[in-house]
Amino acid sequence: MENTLGLEIIEVVEQAAIASAHLMGKGDKNEADRVAVEAMRERMNKIYMRGRIVIGEGERDDAPMLYIGEEVGICSQPNAKDFCNPDELVEIDIAVDPCEGTNLCAYGQPGSMAVLAISEKGGLFAAPDFYMKKLAAPPAAKGKVDISKSATENLKILAECLDRSIDELVVVVMKRDRHNDLIKEIREAGARVQLISDGDVGAAINCGFAGTNIHALMGIGAAPEGVISAAALRCLGAHFQGQLIYDPAIVQTGLIGESKEANIARLNEMGITDPDKIYTAEELASGENVLFAGTGITPGNIMNGVRFFKGGARTQTLVISSQSKTARFVDTIHMHEQPKVVQLR
Q: Contact positions toward ligand VTB, by CB under 6 A?
A: 100-101, 174, 176, 198-201, 221-222, 225, 253-254
Answer yes or no: are the C-beta atoms of 245 and 251 closer than 8 Å.
Answer: yes
Answer yes or no: are the C-beta atoms of 167 and 79 closer than 8 Å.
Answer: no
**Closer Cβ to ligand VTB, 50 or 134, answer by number:** 134
Residues forming a β-bridge with 142 = none
Crossing angle between the packed helical segments 151-161 and 180-189, to the nearest 10 degrees: 40
In the complex, minimum distance from the CB of residue 141 to ligand VTB, in angstroms, rounded to a whole number: 21
In the complex, minimum distance from the CB of residue 196 to ligand VTB, in angstroms, rounded to a whole number: 8
In the complex, minimum distance from the CB of residue 230 to ligand VTB, in angstroms, rounded to a whole number: 11
**Closer Cβ to ligand VTB, 14 or 100, answer by number:** 100
**Closer Cβ to ligand VTB, 49 or 174, answer by number:** 174
CA dist 94 and 87 (Å) reads: 20
Q: Taking the alpha carbons of 139, 143, 148, 151 in that order, is the dihedral positive or negative? A: negative
In the complex, minimum distance from the CB of residue 311 to ligand VTB, in angstroms, rounded to a whole number: 33
In the complex, minimum distance from the CB of residue 62 to ligand VTB, in angstroms, rounded to a whole number: 16
Nearest CA to 286 out of 93, 81, 38 is that of 93
Residues forming a β-bridge with 237 = none
Max Cα–Cα distance, the chain, nearest Å: 64
Q: What number of other Cβ atoms are within 10 A of residue 212's Cβ?
A: 18
**Closer Cβ to ligand VTB, 253 or 326, answer by number:** 253
CA dist 57 and 67 (Å) reads: 5
**Closer Cβ to ligand VTB, 134 or 314, answer by number:** 134
Q: 249 in helix, strand or coil?
A: helix
Residue type, 260: K
**Closer Cβ to ligand VTB, 58 or 254, answer by number:** 254
**Closer Cβ to ligand VTB, 151 or 196, answer by number:** 196
Answer yes or no: are the C-beta atoms of 93 and 9 closer than 8 Å.
Answer: no
In the complex, minimum distance from the CB of residue 317 to ligand VTB, in angstroms, rounded to a whole number: 19
In the complex, minimum distance from the CB of residue 116 to ligand VTB, in angstroms, rounded to a whole number: 14
**Closer Cβ to ligand VTB, 73 or 248, answer by number:** 248
Answer yes or no: are the C-beta atoms of 121 and 215 closer than 8 Å.
Answer: no
At residue 198, what are phi and psi to the nearest 5 degrees? -160, 175
Answer yes or no: are the C-beta atoms of 108 and 24 closer than 8 Å.
Answer: yes
In the complex, minimum distance from the CB of residue 200 to ligand VTB, in angstroms, rounded to a whole number: 4
CA dist 280 and 231 (Å) reads: 10
In the complex, minimum distance from the CB of residue 279 to ligand VTB, in angstroms, rounded to a whole number: 14
**Closer Cβ to ligand VTB, 75 or 222, answer by number:** 222
CA triple 157-159-160, angle to 5 deg: 65
